[in-house]
Chains A and B, each alone.
Chain A
Amino acid sequence: MADFLAFLEELRELIPNFDELLSHLKRPLPTYFRINTLKISIKRAKETLRSEGVEFGPTKIPEILRIERFDAQRPLLSYYLGYIYPQALSSALPVLALLPKENERVLDLCAAPGGKTTFISQLMNDKGLLVANDRKKGRITSLLSNVKRLGITNTVVTIGRGEHLDLPYRFHKILVDAPCSGQGKYRFDERHGTIKYMKRGKTNLSAIQKALIKKGFDLLLPGGTLVYSTCTLDPEENEGVIQHLIEKRGAKVLDFSIPIEGCPGITEFRGKRYDEGVRFCKRFYPHKIDSVGFFIAKIVKE
């Protein structure tokens, strides 16, 4: 816990309302449901959820509901019928930044368990081609199950290390939702003096992230766009990775607009200056959006 607090202190000047963040991290995160409009209209889904005793409120994204109250012990038919996907609000944002459209060719490089994949297909109206890849067999089972439950027909699921993926085609749009340290999910457990949802291990995440984003960029069609996202606050896993892509591939970072406002990317950290374009990246802090913290960058291959 001390290490994380020390790390957060380094970001104190860069995070708006920093003390508010510290108190927010002591509270549990709210639940959100995304309505799967491939199977049900928003209106009918709301009626069905109400009949199942779920109380909810709106968010700035029409398909996503903020759940105020529901009995977790009570089975929700809405879930088993594929009407809803429980998903953090911020987890939907990279897909909105990607802006997938009908009949495009889209790749989700690190797809499991499928929250973003199924939302991409939803925005494509289940038309075109969506390749959903992941390297972990255990996690792919959830991906397959969610694709099936949500009734998706335009998806090819592949298994393999994203950075070594060999595909016979190039894509209009690619999502690289990279494995990360997950600091955006951290919550303080004051009773035990620990951090909940903290990942263990000494994997060189930044090296994996750099390899993944380069592979994603190489698989783009000319003029295609790539969205890189993580659920972490660490600039070395975020702006540092974008900087690497700019240096290695001459990529251009795009500004983008989505219904929920983010803070600009950090252009300097621990004495390292990043390219000015990195300010177009967006940081979504947990206390500002009442959800998991996220980082999103949108990149074009010119």
Chain B
Amino acid sequence: MPKLLRNEERELILSFLDWRFGIKREHFTDYDIYAFSRQAFLFRAQGENFTFPKGHFLRCGLPFMRDVAGHLKPTTCFIQKFGDLAHKNIITLGKEELIELCEKGELALDKNSKDIEGPGYVITKLDGHVLGVNLLIENRLLCRFPKALKETIKRLKKSQ
């Protein structure tokens, strides 16, 4: 069964989102965060006496955050929903760059943006649409899109 995160665990996640992407914790006032199946889930708050249905329970809310090699990584579905609230560590790519990122697994970046604050996850956009997060190390962007999204983007090449 999902376990409601303690205040300090919740704060750890929300302060990471604020620090890395500038997504303010106030946006999550109406949500609870649960740990379940080695992931954090964002679930619309239901009030103090809420209990999950025992015996039938499978999942609650939206997959939110994972621990990847000791670092927090926002899930693609979370960032696609809330990524527009971010105002830093955002990279906008053109379609060709995006296809190259997905085909080669990485992309060399020659631009130094003032909105990028060192290595770590960056939100990746195309034409104003938030696609997900990828990992920026030095001047290389490493593809961290889920397989289905990666394959979709690769197929954009054929339909150009």
B57 to A: closest C-beta gap in Å: 6
* Cα separation A67 to B129 with both chains bound (whole Å): 22
By the criterion CB–CB under 8 Å, are B60 and A157 in contact?
A: yes
Stretch of B3-11, B42-50, B65-73, B134-142 at the chain-chain interface: B42-50
B56 close to chain A: CB less than 8 A: yes
A165 close to chain B: CB less than 8 A: yes
A89 to B: closest C-beta gap in Å: 26
10 A–B contact pairs at CB < 8 A?
A81-B131, A127-B44, A129-B50, A151-B80, A152-B62, A153-B44, A155-B60, A158-B53, A160-B55, A167-B53
By the criterion CB–CB under 8 Å, are B44 and A128 in contact?
A: yes
- Residue in contact with B152 in the complex, picked from A75, A127, A155, A158, CB distance below 8 Å: A75
Interface residues of A in 104-161 (CB under 8 A from B): 126-129, 131, 133, 140, 144, 147-149, 151-160
A residues within 8 A CB of B152?
75, 77, 80
Given A77-B129, A157-B58, verify A148-B159 contact (CB < 8 Å). Answer: no
Q: Give the A-binding residues of B (Cβ under 8 A).
A: 30-31, 42-44, 46, 50-63, 77-78, 80-81, 126-127, 129-131, 148-149, 152-153, 155-156, 159
Q: Give the B-binding residues of A (Cβ under 8 A).
A: 38-39, 48, 51, 71, 73-75, 77, 80-82, 126-129, 131, 133, 140, 144, 147-149, 151-160, 165-168
* Cα separation A156 to B36 with both chains bound (whole Å): 13
- Residue in contact with B129 in the complex, picked from A81, A128, A129, CB distance below 8 Å: A81
- Residue in contact with B81 in the complex, picked from A39, A128, A157, A159, CB distance below 8 Å: A39
- Residue in contact with A168 in the complex, picked from B43, B53, B61, B80, CB distance below 8 Å: B53
A94 to B: closest C-beta gap in Å: 22
* Cα separation A2 to B66 with both chains bound (whole Å): 56
By the criterion CB–CB under 8 Å, are B53 and A129 in contact?
A: no
* Cα separation A129 to B61 with both chains bound (whole Å): 10
Task: Give 9 nearest A-B pairs by CB, closest first.
Answer: A151-B81, A158-B56, A154-B44, A74-B159, A75-B152, A160-B56, A75-B155, A157-B59, A157-B58
* Cα separation A158 to B2 with both chains bound (whole Å): 13
B residues within 8 A CB of A144?
58-59
Given A126-B44, A159-B58, verify A80-B53 contact (CB < 8 Å). Answer: no
- Residue in contact with B52 in the complex, picked from A74, A77, A156, CB distance below 8 Å: A156
- Residue in contact with A166 in the complex, picked from B42, B46, B56, CB distance below 8 Å: B56
B142 to A: closest C-beta gap in Å: 20
B residues within 8 A CB of A153?
31, 42-44, 61-62
* CB closest residue in chain A, given B152: A75
By the criterion CB–CB under 8 Å, are A156 and B62 in contact?
A: no
- Residue in contact with B55 in the complex, picked from A82, A131, A140, A166, CB distance below 8 Å: A166
* CB closest residue in chain B, given A82: B80
By the criterion CB–CB under 8 Å, are A151 and B62 in contact?
A: yes
A165 to B: closest C-beta gap in Å: 6
A residues within 8 A CB of B50?
129
* Cα separation A223 to B38 with both chains bound (whole Å): 40
